[in-house]
Chain A
């Protein structure tokens, strides 16, 4: 079955830049999406179609794609950005949805 691979954890100091990667063989052909989930809360879409930002999401959140890897970048990280982040995409047949395992972002 198709898998998306994320690092389990990323740590960064306030004001620095956090980069969270997501790798998958179908990513050159399928868009990726990113969700932020804080404890006890429902996930929130922060990036869609690799690099588009929904309304209401701060500009410090951005996304990029290169080959089989997509990256969520948070510039000028704030304490409130501490959360779990999940990438999501589809398999090469565009039939099945898949989530990455999630990355816990810790703001030191």
Chain B
């Protein structure tokens, strides 16, 4: 069974940093891209970014709203994906979920974690 479990969410002040982890099991982690999505309270889904598998260069793509502040990385030996968030803003408050990203003429997200809450507030 595929499982994704996010951790690291917290209450943090504006301007500070936070790192989220996505611990996975039940599939060959290194074969897949890994993706982050966020959902502000009462709002819709917002794509954050993804990291390709090593076979596709391990490169990353980010939404414009987080580019330059957030960094996605992966540790294939531990089957964990990370989201490093710097210079946090109040508008980054959301539940952050990791997903497995499947590529077949387009990326889509076939397995999701339950998410971890990040609150940015002074």
- Bound complex: CA of A42 vs CA of B6, how far in Å? 12
Q: Tell me how far the C-beta of A97 lies from the nearest C-beta in chain B, rounded to whole angstroms.
A: 4
Give Cα distance in the complex from A30 to B35, angstroms: 19
Q: Considering only CB atoms and an 8 Å cut-off, how many residues of chain B contact the other chain? A: 22
Name the B residues within 8 Å of A37 (CB-CB).
Answer: 45
Which size class do A's interface residues fall under? 20 to 34
Of the listed stretches A11-19, A60-68, A71-79, A98-106, name the one at the interface; the rest are far from the partner chain.
A98-106
Q: How far is the CA of A48 from the CA of B7 in the complex (A)?
A: 28
> Given A1-B64, A42-B97, A96-B61 in contact, is the A30-B110 Cβ separation under 8 Å?
no
| Chain B interface mostly | strand
Within 8 A of A (CB), among B92-122: 97, 104-110, 112-115
Partner of A42, one of B35, B61, B104, B112: B112
- Collect the chain A residues with CB atoms within 8 Å of residue B109's CB: 33, 35, 43, 45, 88
Residues of A within 8 A of B (CB): 1, 30-31, 33, 35, 37, 42-45, 48-49, 54, 84, 86, 88-90, 94-102
